[in-house]
Amino acid sequence: MSGERIGFIGTGVMGEPMCRNLVRKHDGPVTAYDLDPAPLERLAAEGAAIAPSLPALAEAADLVFLSLPSGREVRAVCLGEGGLIAHLPPGRTVIDTSTAPPALAREIAGAFAARGAAFADAPVARTRQAAVDGTLSIMVGGEAVLVEGLRPLLDHMASDVTHCGPVGSGQAVKILNNMILFQNVRALAEGLAIARRQGIAPETFLEAVSRSSGDSFALRNHGMKAILAESFPEDAFPVTYAMKDLDYALELAAEAGIDAEGAALVRTLFIEAVESGLGARYHPVIATLIDRKQRA
């Protein structure tokens, strides 16, 4: 999609570096829109144009990327009063990189199709640093021809792009991926707390497990870089966002008639973290709650 005009809505923790990679790598204009002026100023310094409103961005872009906090914002931006549905000309494409319910993705796709516009859900996985480095994993739901056409743009932001199936499939895979990740983080935190009680240095424990069958993305990223360093910043993926994704997963489980007990246990810990005032902290902060229980 050489030279296409790109629009980007939502320049937060993940959206800003994703948009920056498009600005730097795409050979056409990139226009950004957000309610927060700070990231827009940084992106403007890189060469992005700044839209004063959603209607202005819709008019200025052939393809519009979304990176929003939840399904509620996705619905408002796409289908709400003054949203894209009222301003997007026929022939345009919207790609939602947020994490939102699969049913919402299908609803939006149907609404845009009725206006002659295309839609794909393309939620992202991995860390903010991966967004900065352009090494995200993107799971895409949409028609095969559309997805293949989007790959060159997605490759500007990701090292792995997987076509998961029709619209909604990308969201389902991403949501279930996060459900698995959160359970891995809990298991890792429990193992670390027990190892400490055995007098084993946390660094030694993680190094040994990383060379064994317990190795995982969670261990190398959340264990070594967050839990071990006790680094749980507020400018990363917080507990509240993680709980939102986990709720989506539990909804999918309920629809499938599956009792996802492991996921439900993690949700209980997320609730405790929020009630303890840790809701805005990076989600591996749940390790501090587990360790605290072990000490009690």
**Burial grade of 131 (CB within 10 A; 0-12, 13-18, 19 or more):** buried
Contact call for residues 34 and 256 (beta carbons, < 8 A): no
Name the region of 130 (left: φ>0; alpha: ψ -120 to 50; beta: rest). Answer: alpha
> Residue 189: which H helix or E strand, with range?
helix 169-197
In the set 25, 174, 244, 293, the catalytic residue is 174
Query: Is 174 in the active site?
Result: yes
| Alpha-carbon distances of 111 from 53, 79, 137, 166, 168, rounded to whole Å | 21, 8, 27, 16, 14
3-class SS string, 138-186: EEEECCHHHHHHHHHHHCCCEEEEEEEECCCHHHHHHHHHHHHHHHHHH
Tokens, residue 125 = 């996985």
Size of the chain in residues: 296
| Alpha-carbon distances of 74 from 94, 121, 168, 173, 259, rounded to whole Å | 11, 11, 14, 18, 28
Contact call for residues 139 and 164 (beta carbons, < 8 A): yes
Whole-angstrom Cα distance, residue 18 to residue 62? 18
The b-or-e profile of 221-242 (16+ CB within 10 A means b, else e) is bbbbebbbeeebeeebbbbbbb
**Burial grade of 60 (CB within 10 A; 0-12, 13-18, 19 or more):** middle
Question: Which residues are catalytic, by number?
Answer: 174
